[in-house]
Homo-oligomer: A and B are copies of this chain.
Amino acid sequence: MTEQTRIMDWDSISKALASVDVVAEMERAFVAYSADKCVIPPVGELNFTEPRGDVHIKYGYVRDEEFYVVKIASGFYDNPSLGLASSNGLMLLFRQRTGELAAVLLDEGRLTDIRTAAAGAVAARHLAPSEVTRIGILGTGTQARLQLEYLRGVVDCERALVWGRNPERSEQFAREMSDGDFQVEVAAASSDVAAMCNLIVTTTPAESPLLDRAAVRPGTHITAVGSDSPAKQELDAAILGVSELVVADSISQCRERGEISHALRAGVIQEADLVELGALIAGQAPGRQNDQQITVADLTGVAVQDVQIASAVFV
């Protein structure tokens, strides 16, 4: 490479992030994606059995932009027993006109967490009811924390309710996420979150529904983030069936994975009824019409988000 490749560790990435409006970048990403301006090939995959690990290679670009991006992300499930994070990864930024490697972003998977959380904020900005009474969070992990942080930037609401399978972790989450301006409490059951919140984000790796159709009140928006593989499911498919609006980050991807895939297979929704998030942002599809509608956004994660956040960090 004639131009120097920039190697960025997490310190320099997080400094660069400070001047990036990640939520706005994700809006741009989804609009470009839904306008068919992106080239995003199928995900590459490597699997290991002993110890169990999955590696995903996501790559692509937005046409006529400066860069293409290759992301390698892994989950190795025995890592915590070694004192290591289970997820890991990096992003590579190349110039579309020459193939030169512009940057290696040694983000250890954190940019993926952040772009996923920012997408939740995008969904809330466009789909939350006009008055959010309380934010509900299912799950207590990194993604649950980030979702709440990013929601606070786009939603005018000072109360949240969290539920997780492990009560101690839920308590710890509530304690750490509360501050003078913001109050987080712990729910005894996931149905309590549905009963008391009208903006709900689900962030768990559950493989059977955590929320029933009956528990969800009119006017609620739910963003489902946890289900990123065919086996995972956080929402009763009937919730999508009664929703006035079901939004996918990528319709083609949601056919195969996520809450929408379950609801399509159950026959409670039709693909023709789906709206893509980028079309909604661009005003090409109607959004929420009133505060009685139930809406669902299913976010399975699209490589264009990686392209966008990596480019924004570098520039």
Contacts and interface: CB of A to CB of B under 8 A. Distances in A.
Interface of A: 1-2, 5, 7, 39, 41, 44-46, 48, 51, 53, 55, 57, 59-61, 68, 70, 72, 74-76, 79, 82-84, 88, 90, 92, 94, 96-101, 104, 106, 108
Given A1-B88, A106-B5, A97 B46 contact: no
Contact of A83 (B2, B70, B72, B76): B2
B88 A74 contact: no
A281 B83 CA distance: 42
Contacts of A72: 70, 92, 94
Contacts of A7: 7, 104
Given A88-B100, A98-B84, A44 B45 contact: no
Question: What is the copy number of this chain in the assembly?
Answer: 2
Contact of A84 (B2, B51, B55, B101): B2
B55 A94 contact: yes
Given A1-B106, A88-B99, A106-B101, A57 B70 contact: yes
A1 B109 CA distance: 10
A197 to B, nearest CB: 35
B44 A59 contact: yes
Contacts of A39: 46
A30 to B, nearest CB: 21
Contacts of A98: 53, 76, 79, 82, 84, 88
Nearest to A68: B46
A79 B51 CA distance: 43
Nearest to A70: B72
A82 B39 CA distance: 25
